[in-house]
Homo-oligomer: A and B are copies of this chain.
Amino acid sequence: MDHLKHIEGFARLDFDRHKRTGIPESILAEGKTTEQIISLVRCFTQKAGYSLTTRIRVEAARVVQQQLQPDLKIVYNETGRTLVAQRAEHTFEPTGGKIAVLAAGTSDLPVAEEARVTAEVMGCEVMTAYDVGVAGIHRLLKPLEQIHELGVSAVVVVAGMEGALPTVVRGLVPIPVIGVPTSVGYGYGGKGEAALMTMLQSCAPGLTVVNIDNGFGAGATAALIANCVAAAHAGRKNGE
C-alpha cells in the first residue's frame, strides 16, 4: 500500500478552482437535461454568487428563466447561447482587464458572443467588432484604432471558412491574438479544419489557437491574460 502514499497530498486540495486556475468553472449545457442544468445553476450560484452556462438551447433557457426568476437575476444571450445567473446581491467586479473580440462573418457570431460573455463574467471590459472578414479588410481600421486607444491586452479573432483573419490581425497589433476556427464552411475542409489548419500554419508568432467553435476557451484565455496585465498595473502579482 505504500506506493499510493504519494498521491495523498491530493486529498488536501479543497480550495476552489477559480483561485487555482484564474478561471471560474462553467456549466456546459450540451448533453445535459434541463433538470440537470437547473440544479447545477442553483448549486453554482449558491457557492459562488453566480453561474455561467454555455451552449444552452433556447427552450432550455426559457424553462430555466421561468423556474429560477426572480430568485436569481438571469441574462440569456440567444446568439451566444449563454445564460448568466446571479444572486440578487452579486455583482461582477471589474478587474480593469480589457480584451477585444473580432469576428469575420455573421455565422461566426455565436462563437464570438460566447467569448465575449465569458470574458465579461471574468470581470473584463470587452470591445467587439463583427463582420470584419478578409474580404472587407478595410473595415478593420476602426477596430484596430479602438484596440490601441482602449489599451486592450489580448484579442480573440473568430473566423470560419478560409480562416485568415487572425493572421492578418496579429500582424497589426502588439499584443497576443487567440484564433478560434469555426465550423462554418462547405466541401473539402468545411467543418472547420481549413480554418484550424490555416491558423496553425500561420507564420505569425503571437497567435495561438483553441479548438473549433471553442469561444468559451478563447474568451477565458484572453480574459486571463488581460486580468494578469490589469493586476500588474495595480501592482499585484499573478494569482493574487
**A residues neighboring B (CB under 8 Å):** 1-13, 15, 19-23, 31, 107, 118, 133-135, 137-141, 144-145, 148-149, 151-153, 161-164, 167-168, 170-176, 178, 181, 183, 185-190, 192-214, 216-218, 220-221, 224-225, 228-230, 232-233, 235, 237-239
Contacts and interface: CB of A to CB of B under 8 A. Distances in A.
Contact of A201 (B12, B135, B189): B189
Contact of A167 (B9, B135, B171): B135
Given A140-B10, A201-B185, A239 B208 contact: no
Given A11-B141, A224-B206, A21 B176 contact: no
A4 B148 contact: yes
Contacts of A224: 174-176, 205-206
Given A12-B5, A162-B203, A201-B195, A186 B213 contact: yes
22 contacts: A6-B138, A7-B10, A10-B141, A20-B174, A133-B203, A134-B171, A164-B168, A186-B214, A187-B192, A187-B211, A187-B214, A188-B200, A188-B201, A189-B197, A193-B197, A194-B201, A198-B198, A200-B210, A200-B211, A208-B208, A225-B225, A230-B232
User: How many copies of this chain?
Assistant: 8
Contact of A31 (B12, B107, B148): B107
A233 B53 CA distance: 34
A69 to B, nearest CB: 27
Contacts of A196: 187-189, 200
A238 B163 contact: no
A15 B1 contact: no
Contact of A7 (B21, B107, B144, B204): B144
A26 to B, nearest CB: 8
B145 A175 contact: no
